[in-house]
Amino acid sequence: MGTKRKERTDETPDPISLSYPDPEFFDFDECRDRSLFEVDQIWALYDDLDGMPRFYARIRHIYENQDFKVGFTWLEHDPSNAAEMAWSRQQLPVACGSFRRGKAEVSQDPLMFSHIISWEKGKKKNGYDIYPKEGEVWAVYKGWDIAWSSDPDDDRTFEYEIVEVLSDFVAGSGINVIPLVKVEGFVSLFVRAKDKAPYRILSSEILRFSHRVPFHRMTGAERDGVPQGSFELDTASLPINMEDAFPSVPLECGTTKTGISPKSSTNDAGVGPAAVKEIERVRRKEFDHSQLATTFHCSDEYPAPEFCNVDDGKLINRIQPGQIWALYSEIDKFPKYFGWIHKVNSVDRLVELKWLEVRPRREEEKRWNRKGLPIGCGTFEVIDECETFDSTDAFSHLVNARLRGRKHQYEILPSVGEIWAMYKNWRPCWNLFDFENCEFDVVEICERSGAGTKVSLLTKVDGNRAVFMPDKKEKVVTILEDEYLRFSHQIPAFQLTDQKGGVLRGYWELDLASLPEALFNNSC
């Protein structure tokens, strides 16, 4: 059995411990490990009403040399209209909307904290906007009515429905959700309800959301009977009387698969449970890049090139201070990280670099960045954090970067003559699961102008492992500037001349380490 603590109040001078059943498959305590706490994060804390994680606090200090001691500032609901004001006045629970800073406090009790919250800067100074995000799981109140504020009931008990969020919040429109149901025979396994349709919760009904529920997505291989793509929910964020609150239904009778085929066991951020700590760093853009890059990429995994050796281009004597290089990402193993070379020690074969972090400009880029999806082109800024590499295995290629007006800001965009991978069937509302299961096109950059970037599709040459030529059946396509997220990453390429007696002249041999595996045949 796990334990959490309801937050202390004036009426409860000592915190109250509540017990809950342990989940069967995933250890959600990894998501609230003490090592994850950092300054400026916002965490959800268990409330003093029914123990659900709907209080918010921003971490302002981590006490060193302490087992666990943090200073934080409570976030208080900042009503935006008369209905919300009446709701807050009656001290009814609020988990979505605008918040402002409240009083400061110090805690040595890690059991108060549930999970890290994603948020956006509010319109007011020291304001924070917190709304459900696409792909999250939330509890919503059954029978919710805004009129509860005019009929306060100190003994009111809340009942919940669990929903998967299908879209981000849009002011004036709302949020699309779909109900989840509990699967019979499991402690806290949920899937989409077969007999219930998606529905919209309007902006005026945003207080219907009770709290976010951390989850872990299942592959189906955990044990017999586990539905692929189902959600194991954190029992600490569910009512203690779970069997009564969520009657179980047999899988074949009342439920359906989610329609998602994850590559591996994943948590709510879409990565394996062994990388729980890393995904939180993904969301804050604070990776240990060097460790991840070298861990997730190994050139020996790929067959040798037929004609040109890409490794010749990244010998240490070719890496110079002031250059910007692309490095392999641990998320999909493609070269989507960028580093500014600070120092090179050729004798000891050490390269010291400073990382570039994306600076999203458009709203879609900001949404993509919030979800932890890697951005392969756009505006980036050099940060002070340095990493030292004792080999060039994590390096992919020298980047054509243009210095912007601000110091240490660079623009990295597809350049004429370069070869890039582009996402097939890309849409602005992509989420992590679309990203994981996407397909690619390979294109040559033909022209760049104020109207966008013109690209021509390349197709693989039969009989060669990674040689591509222009696809004469396809027309040149213009990618508009606000669609640049379609560009996944640059692929190092070599234009062939006399190979095979000149029959491949003008074609491109692509770097296998940067080429999606589905686009080459290892048996050639």
DSSP state of 158: -
Is the pLDDT confidence value at 319 over 70?
yes
pLDDT above 90 covers a percentage of the chain that reads 48
Comparing CA positions, the residue from 399, 392, 394 lying closest to residue 378 is 399
Task: State the Cα–Cα distance between residues 133 and 163, nearest whole angstrom.
Answer: 12
Contact between residue 227 and residue 218 where contact means Cβ atoms under 8 Å apart: yes
Q: Is the pLDDT of residue 258 over 70?
A: no
Query: Three-state SS for 231?
Result: strand
DSSP string, 267-327: ETTSS-GGGHHHHHHHHHT---HHHHHHHH--GGGSPPPSS--GGGGG-GGG--TT-EEEE
Distance of alpha carbon 189 from alpha carbon 193, whole angstroms: 12
Q: What is the mean pLDDT of residues 368-381?
A: 87
Where residue 313 falls among pLDDT bands split at 50, 70, 90?
confident
Q: Are 485 and 368 in contact (CB under 8 A)?
A: yes
Q: What is the pLDDT of residue 279?
A: 37
Q: What is the pLDDT of residues 429-455, one digit of tens each?
A: 787 777 878 899 999 999 988 788 999
Decide: residue 21, CB within 10 A, 0-12 exposed, 13-18 middle, 19+ buried.
Answer: middle
Nearest to 428 by CA among 480, 384, 492, 355: 480
Of the candidates 363, 354, 444, the residue with the CA atom closest to the CA atom of residue 407: 354
Q: Which of 156-160, 189-193, 283-287 has the highest mean pLDDT?
A: 189-193
The H or E element that residue 254 is part of is helix 251-254
Task: Give me the mean pLDDT over the 354-371 stretch.
Answer: 88
What one-letter code names the amino acid at 71?
G
The share of the chain scoring above pLDDT 70, in percent, equals 85
Given a cut of 50, is residue 336 above it in pLDDT? yes
d(CA 514, CA 69): 44
pLDDT tens string 62-109 = 998 888 999 999 999 999 889 999 999 888 999 999 999 999 999 999
With beta carbons less than 8 A apart as the criterion, state whether 7 and 55 touch.
Answer: yes
